[in-house]
Structures are given as structure tokens and as C-alpha cells.
């Protein structure tokens, strides 16, 4: 088996073989003049047309593979040699060798001809395969020149009147050592290993055929010129040419063609962004000389990083691309802009929506979040193609660890800049508990916290939590209420809840001390029940707006609110909230409230809807707060929580009657005016299509959990953009897209929400954890 030698070693081996061959020639003939001027003698063809051409072909012209063009040159050389013989009868096997050479020439030409003919005919394909195999195997220099070599030594050293068996044995042994065992090659390889143990260990790969930018090179390994080499993504290589000297790079991508392999090589840079280079190779000093020793644009695989000189090894080891090769995921593609980066996904790392990657802008690391991907195809040569993935990532900026805040990074990364996956961190239970108490969540698979930065804005600028049933909206709501209660000491929270999830025997007391909560029970506002069917008559005339118990209900709501705010049923002089109760829970379904309706000439009483009761509660809250001076910068005083908001403040096309439409408008007016008095709202809904957009549009902070309906996606697109809204159906459990002033997020971000088990003490069932 042949030894795999570098180009330099092949030349050395060829020179040694030629020297040995010349020594044998001089030993046999004893006359140097015959070596110089005896090329026309028939008895010398074993040297000139046999061994000499075998050596040149094997080590110089055809070191790995023979092409049809090589076979043509070889066969023509044999034919010319045979024709020029003086005594054709004196060469053993003359006719056979001539016919074989003509056959090689014929099939080589046929192969080239058929290559340019596009045909699906099976017979043509079979003929092409046969002609190619015959031409390249038989026309190989080792085979075709061996025929004339063996024939000539038999003819002139065995089949003669005075046979010279010793020389025959010497020449035959030389041929066996050259063709089958490559003895000199193995000796050279052994000595070079011993003598060059401190030199760079390399293996020839191929040639650079393109430079997409100063650091990104396209390399071709042609299997017809180079032996198939086991090369993997992440392998170190050297790229050598006049401009680079000998630069060190790493394989980042492979593209398989029919008879070739294309590699993408990214050159390594040091801490100063300078390309890591070896010392000038002596061959490049003769770059202007057309020499067989010259190999510009050559690319070699480095077999061991330890074979680098210490200074180069240190630079390679600390180079970002090499040291972080396990996290390398691709490089920036064309089409990126200041908001969004496109990169070709490479390497074995799995990526997914919400994942965090980073690259450099002006030398500074910048975070991006994955939001989408596409498959694409690139044509290569002929019918070869390359399929790949392009990932889309939105710019987040950089993370300020001191302030736990994402901050803007201006501009965009350079095309072909390497992109890395933010290293996944192993997070302990203790760390998760810490995060849950200091933040609302974190960037997925990281410890980068996303805290509530402005609790006042969370209230006064209104907040919405949107998502399908069972995705964790209530859990997020309770966590927000818990954090608001802990961070805004004077804040009063009013929950309008028709689900009873906020009741004292349900979930909210697991987040907020039950001693701070006042909740409706079945006897709520029973004092008004006796007036349910009252028809107000004055001077014999019935008045629907004064009928029923709605006026009395409004009065009782006001008294209840005053008692909750101040601990008394009237206004105190200092208007300071009492701190004995923090949360008031109203369930409108427990309030038996009626209103008058005119039917013909008569007035009857009818039950008020949830929407109408919600308006009364909201308006009475605002009326109380209007006793305080109005200010655009008013701190948060009261938060109204609308649980199942699509039932409490429905969209105009979802209302049951005109009264509900008027009620929704009234509630929206309260929310619009409330900010000046420290009033805000928290809107929770699973049906974005059915909630009043007048109210949703006033929500500055949004938490969007998994959403499927088109209306919800279209509405959220106004807040988070189409790219993020398209990820809504694929959000994982406990993930949300967050944006808004309360978190100081200038762009939407997919966050991993806290697990409730880390910030409550009770053990909850799996069903509790879902919603």
C-alpha cells in the first residue's frame, strides 16, 4: 500500500528513486555517455520509457488519481516509443502493448466525448462508466509504463543469447519495490517523522478556490487529484498564499459534490483581530518563479494543535472561533439589517425559537433572539446542489449585568461574522429561587434576568396578559400581584373576578397573605336585594333610570371602596390609604343588581350584566381618586384587575345589548383618564378577538403567551411585529413574549417565566400549575 506523502516528501522520494535508477543504469552499462546520448537504443527503453516515467507519474504527475487526460498522455508516450523502435520484433509482447495503448487512447477519448453528451440512456451510461474505468485504471502510469518496463527487461536481460539473470533480478526487484511496496516512501516518512517531530504536522487537503471576505475561504478537495481525506467541521487547517503567508483557520462547513468536496474555512484571529499566521514559508520567496515546488493557495489539515509553535498554539487556543467552536452556529448572511440578523446555520448545535445567539458589532458582543428560519438551496457545479438553513434573529442589544437590563447596541454586524450560541447554563434550584424573587423571568436557557424595572408604570400605563386557556395566565397574574404588593407599599388592588380563582379558599392567598385580602361571599351586597324589583314612580310617571337597585348598588360600592381604601365610609382629611387591607375581590355574579327598562308605556326591572356592574365599580374607583390632584407623573395608587376581560369589557361586536356597549365605553373612559390619578388596569383574557380594543390599545406592557387565533396574532402584530407574532403558536410552556415600559424593554423579547414552585410555599397540583 502506498504511503500518503506530502508534496515535498513525494519530490524527495522521486529524486531518491531516480538516483537509485541512474546508479543501476551506470552499474549495468558502465558508461555515463550512454545515459546522456543513448536514448535511441532499443535496449535502454526500460530506463527512459519504463522506470523513469513510472517514477514521474506516480510521484509528480499522478500522485493520487489518473484522469482520462493523463491516460491519453501516457498511452501516446507508449505508442510513440513503440513506433520508434528499430527492432520491433525484439520487444517481447510488442503487439499486445501496442493494442493495449491504443485501447487506452480510444477509451480515454470516448470518456471525454461522452462526458459532454447528456443522456439518460442506460447503455450510454454503462459505456461511459466502462470507458472511464478502463482508461483511468489501465492508463495509469504505474500500469501502462509497467507493461513496457517488464517487457523490455525480459527482452534484453532474459530472452537473449546471453541472459543476464542477476541484472534481471535487480531490475525486477526495483520495480516491485517501486510499484507495490514503495520502500523509499516508507523510509522517507519514518525519517521525516523522527527528524520533524517538532515541526507542524499537516496533511494536504486541497486548494483555496475563492475568498468571500478576508477571513472566509472556499476550498476544493478534488478526489481526482487528492486522496479522500477525513475532514470534519472544527478541524484546524492552514491556508498558504502570497497574501496570507501561512494563516491558521478552522473548517466551518462542508459541501459534498459528485467528485469533490468543498470546504468553508474561517481564518482565526487573535485578541487584536489580527489573522493568526505562521512564519513565512520559504517556498513563497520564489512566488514569481513557475516551479513545481510552488503550491500557492494550498490548504492543509493540521493533525495536532500541539504541533504548532508555542506562540501560535497559545493564540489558536484563545481564539474566539476555536475556543468556542462547540457553540459556533453559523455566520451572518446577506439581507441582515439593523433590527434583524440572518445567519446560515452550521455545525451540530440544535437551535430553536427563543434561543439566544450572539455576534459582534464593532467588536462588541451583541445578543440576538431566534424567531424564525427557512430552508434554502444553493446551486454548485453542474447538477450538484447544497441545501442549508437560514435562521432569523432579532437584535436584543447587550445585557447590563449591574442593572439587569437589555440595552441598545447600534448598527448591524458585518456580513460573514461568526455567530455563537449563548452558552446554556446549568441553573441550580437556589439560583432559580433567587431569579423568581427578583425578576419576572429570564432569557430562555440563560440566567439573564428580566425584572420589572418600573412597578408604577406596570400599573398606571396598563398591562395585558394574553394567551389560550390553560397556558399559565393566572399564574403570571398572581406573581405580578405578589410583586406589586411587595414593591408598592401603598398600592390597592381591586380584582373583578368571575372565576372565583381569586377567592380566599382558592389560589390568590398562596401568593398574598389572606389577612390582606377582602373577598365577596354569597351574601355580598345583600342590603340592596330588597330593592331589586323597585319601580321608581314620580307624579304617576315611571322612570327607568331610577328604577331597580342600581343607584343603591352604586352607593354601596362607594361605601365599600372607601372602607377598603381608608378604613372608613367617608373621606379622611389626609386622604392617606390605610394599610390593613391590600386586595379587594369583587365577583359581579354575586351582586344582585337590577336596572329599569321601558317596555312600551311601562317600566320593568331586569338584571344588570357583568359588563354594566364592571363599569359601576370602575367609575366609583375613579371618582374617589379624583379627590387627589391630577398629574401625568402620578404614582400608582389603585390597580383594577379584569379577569376574563372578554366577558367584562367585550368588543362592540360581542356585546349582548346596547347597555353593554355603553358600559364598555364607560369603563374604557375610566382607564383612559385614570393614569392622571394613579389608576391603572391589568387585563387578562384568552380571547383577544372578543375584548374591547379601546382598552387593549391603552396597555403599554404586554405579556403574550401562546396564541392561535388570527385576530389575536394580528392585534399583537402591532405591538411585537409580524416576526414575533408568528412565533406565538409555537411558544413553549411557561414562555411569553414580553414588551413594555414596565420592563424597560424597547423591543419584544421571548422570556422564560418563573415556575410558581419557586416563589410560593404551598405544593400545588399539576392542574394548578397549568393555569
Residue ranges of the chain with pLDDT lower than 50? 1, 197-198, 281-294, 762-771
SS3 360: strand
* Three-state SS letters, 334-351: CCCCCCEEEEEECCCCCC
pLDDT in tens, 98-151: 999 999 999 999 988 887 776 667 788 888 889 988 988 998 888 988 999 899
Q: Quote the CA–CA distance of 569 and 557 in Å, as a whole number.
A: 10
Residues 6+ apart with CB under 8 A from 549: 528, 529, 531, 532, 534, 592, 593, 594
**Residue 399: phi, psi to the nearest 5?**
-100, 120
The dihedral formed by the CA atoms of 147, 148, 153 and 154, expressed in degrees to the nearest 10? 60
Contact by Cβ (8 Å): 237, 300: yes
Q: Write down the pLDDT at residue 348.
A: 72
| CA dihedral (164, 165, 168, 174) positive or negative | negative
3-state helix, strand, coil in the chain (%, to 5): 40, 25, 35
Of 501, 469, 478, 502, which Cα lies nearest the Cα of 685?
469
Q: How many CB atoms lie within 10 A of CB 122?
A: 8
The model's pTM is 0.70
C-alpha distances out from residue 596 to 363, 618, 744, Å: 71, 21, 48
Q: Write down the pLDDT at residue 455.
A: 94
Q: How many CB atoms lie within 10 A of CB 626?
A: 14
Q: What is the DSSP string of 77-134?
A: HHHHHHHT-S-GGGSTTHHHHHHHHHHHHHHHHHHHHHHT-----HHHHHHHHHHHHH
Q: Write down the pLDDT at residue 38.
A: 65
Q: Quote the CA–CA distance of 631 and 616 in Å, as a whole number.
A: 24
Contact by Cβ (8 Å): 207, 182: no
Q: How many CB atoms lie within 10 A of CB 197?
A: 9
**Residue 94: phi, psi to the nearest 5?**
-55, -50
Q: Quote the CA–CA distance of 144 and 247 in Å, as a whole number.
A: 40
Q: Which region holds residue 274: left if phi is over 0, alpha if psi is between -120 and 50, else beta?
A: beta
Q: Quote the CA–CA distance of 170 and 150 in Å, as a whole number.
A: 12
Q: Where do runs of H (alpha helix) occur along 365-406?
A: none
Strand ranges across the sheet with 463-466: 449-450, 441-442, 745-753, 735-740, 701-704, 463-466, 679-685, 638-642, 492-496, 583-586, 517-519
SS3 466: strand
**Residue 345: phi, psi to the nearest 5?**
-80, 120
| CA dihedral (599, 602, 603, 604) positive or negative | negative
Q: Write down the pLDDT at residue 397.
A: 94
Q: Quote the CA–CA distance of 750 and 441 in Å, as a whole number.
A: 10
Of 73, 62, 72, 84, which Cα lies nearest the Cα of 112?
72
Q: Write down the pLDDT at residue 341.
A: 96
Helix (H) or strand (E) holding 183: helix 183-195
Residues 6+ apart with CB under 8 A from 761: 510
Contact by Cβ (8 Å): 50, 91: no
Q: Write down the pLDDT at residue 593.
A: 93
What is the rounded radius of gyration, in angstroms, for the C-alpha atoms of the chain?
43
Amino acid at each position: 500500500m502506498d504511503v500518503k506523502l506530502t508534496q515535498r516528501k513525494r519530490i524527495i522520494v522521486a529524486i531518491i528513486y531516480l538516483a537509485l535508477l541512474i546508479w543501476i543504469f551506470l552499474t549495468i552499462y558502465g558508461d555515463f555517455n550512454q545515459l546522456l546520448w543513448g536514448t535511441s537504443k532499443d535496449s535502454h527503453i526500460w530506463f527512459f520509457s519504463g522506470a523513469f516515467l513510472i517514477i514521474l507519474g506516480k510521484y509528480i504527475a499522478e500522485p493520487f488519481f489518473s484522469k482520462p487526460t493523463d491516460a491519453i498522455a501516457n498511452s501516446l508516450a507508449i505508442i510513440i516509443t513503440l513506433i520508434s523502435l528499430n527492432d520491433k520484433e525484439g520487444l517481447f509482447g510488442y503487439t499486445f502493448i501496442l493494442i493495449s495503448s491504443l485501447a487506452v487512447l480510444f477509451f480515454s477519448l470516448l470518456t471525454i466525448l461522452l462526458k459532454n453528451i447528456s443522456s439518460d440512456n442506460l447503455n450510454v451510461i454503462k459505456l461511459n462508466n466502462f470507458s472511464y474505468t478502463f482508461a483511468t485504471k489501465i492508463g495509469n502510469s504505474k500500469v501502462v509504463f509497467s507493461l513496457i518496463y517488464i517487457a523490455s527487461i525480459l527482452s534484453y536481460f532474459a530472452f537473449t543469447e546471453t541472459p543476464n539473470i542477476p541484472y534481471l533480478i535487480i531490475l525486477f526487484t526495483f520495480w516491485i519495490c517501486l510499484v507495490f511496496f514503495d520502500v523509499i516512501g516508507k523510509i522517507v516518512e519514518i525519517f521525516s517523522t523522527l527528524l520533524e517531530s517538532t515541526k507542524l504536522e499537516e496533511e494536504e487537503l486541497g486548494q483555496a478556490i475563492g475568498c468571500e471576505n478576508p477571513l472566509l475561504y472556499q476550498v476544493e478537495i478534488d478526489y481526482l487529484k487528492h486522496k479522500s481525506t477525513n475532514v470534519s467541521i472544527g478541524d484546524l487547517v492552514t491556508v498558504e498564499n502570497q497574501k496570507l503567508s501561512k494563516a491558521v483557520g478552522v473548517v466551518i462547513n462542508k459541501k459534498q459534490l459528485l467528485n469533490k468536496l468543498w470546504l468553508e474555512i474561517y481564518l482565526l484571529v487573535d485578541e487584536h483581530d489580527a489573522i493568526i499566521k505562521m512564519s513565512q514559508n520559504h517556498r513563497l520567496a520564489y512566488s514569481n518563479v513557475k516551479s513545481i515546488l510552488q503550491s500557492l493557495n494550498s490548504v492543509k489539515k493540521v493533525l495536532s494543535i500541539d504541533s504548532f509553535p508555542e506562540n501560535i498554539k497559545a493564540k489558536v487556543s484563545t481564539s474566539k472561533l476555536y475556543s468556542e467552536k462547540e457553540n459556533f452556529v453559523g455566520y451572518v448572511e446577506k439581507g441582515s439589517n439593523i433590527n434583524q440578523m440572518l445567519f446560515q446555520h452550521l455545525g451540530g448545535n440544535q437551535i430553536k425559537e427563543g434561543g439566544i445567539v450572539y455576534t459582534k458589532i464593532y467588536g462588541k458582543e451583541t445578543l440576538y433572539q431566534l424567531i424564525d428560519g427557512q430552508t434554502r438551496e444553493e446551486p454548485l457545479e453542474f447538477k450538484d446542489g447544497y441545501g442549508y438553513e437560514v435562521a432569523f434573529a432579532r437584535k436584543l442589544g447587550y445585557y447590563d449585568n449591574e442593572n439587569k437590563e437589555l440595552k441598545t447596541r447600534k448598527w448591524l454586524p458585518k456580513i460573514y461574522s461568526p455567530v455563537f450560541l449563548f452558552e446554556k447554563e446549568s441553573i441550580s434550584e437556589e439560583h432559580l429561587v433567587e431569579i423568581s424573587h427578583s425578576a419576572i423571568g429570564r432569557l430562555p436557557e440563560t440566567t439573564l434576568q428580566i425584572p420589572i424595572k418600573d412597578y408604577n408604570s406596570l400599573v398606571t400605563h396598563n398591562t395585558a396578559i394574553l394567551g389560550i386557556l390553560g397556558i399559565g395566565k393566572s399564574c403570571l397574574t398572581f406573581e405580578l400581584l405578589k410583586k406589586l404588593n411587595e414593591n408598592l407599599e401603598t398600592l390597592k388592588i381591586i380584582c373583578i373576578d368571575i372565576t372565583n380563582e381569586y377567592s380566599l379558599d382558592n389560589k390568590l392567598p398562596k401568593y398574598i397573605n389572606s389577612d390582606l385580602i377582602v373577598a365577596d361571599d354569597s351574601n355580598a351586597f345583600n342590603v340592596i336585594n330588597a330593592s331589586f324589583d323597585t319601580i321608581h314612580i314620580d307624579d304617576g310617571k315611571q322612570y327607568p333610570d331610577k328604577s331597580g337597585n342600581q343607584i343603591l348598588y352604586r352607593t354601596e360600592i362607594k361605601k365599600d371602596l372607601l372602607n377598603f381604601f381608608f378604613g372608613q365610609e367617608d373621606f379622611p382629611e389626609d386622604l392617606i390609604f390605610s394599610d390593613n387591607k391590600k386586595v379587594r375581590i369583587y365577583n359581579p355574579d354575586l351582586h344582585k343588581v337590577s336596572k329599569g327598562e321601558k317596555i312600551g308605556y311601562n317600566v320593568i326591572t331586569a338584571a344588570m350584566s357583568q359588563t354594566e356592574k364592571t363599569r359601576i365599580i370602575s367609575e366609583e374607583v375613579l371618582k374617589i381618586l379624583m379627590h387627589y390632584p391630577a398629574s401625568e407623573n402620578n404614582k400608582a395608587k389603585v390597580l383594577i384587575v379584569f379577569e376574563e376581560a372578554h366577558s367584562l369589557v367585550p368588543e362592540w361586536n360581542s356585546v349582548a345589548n346596547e347597555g353593554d356597549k355603553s358600559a364598555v365605553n364607560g369603563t374604557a373612559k375610566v382607564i383612559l383618564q385614570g393614569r392622571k390619578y394613579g389608576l391603572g388596569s391589568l387585563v387578562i383574557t384568552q380571547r383577544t378577538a372578543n375584548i374591547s380594543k379601546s382598552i387593549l390599545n391603552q396597555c403599554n406592557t404586554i405579556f403574550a403567551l401562546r396564541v392561535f387565533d388570527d385576530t389575536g396574532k394580528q392585534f399583537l402584530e402591532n405591538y411585537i411585529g409580524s416576526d414575533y407574532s408568528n412565533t406565538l403558536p409555537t411558544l413553549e410552556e411557561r414562555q411569553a413574549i414580553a414588551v413594555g415600559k414596565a420592563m424597560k424593554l424597547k423591543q419584544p423579547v421571548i422570556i422564560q417565566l418563573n415556575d410558581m414552585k419557586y416563589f410560593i410555599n404551598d405544593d400545588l397540583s399539576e392542574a394548578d400549575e397549568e393555569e
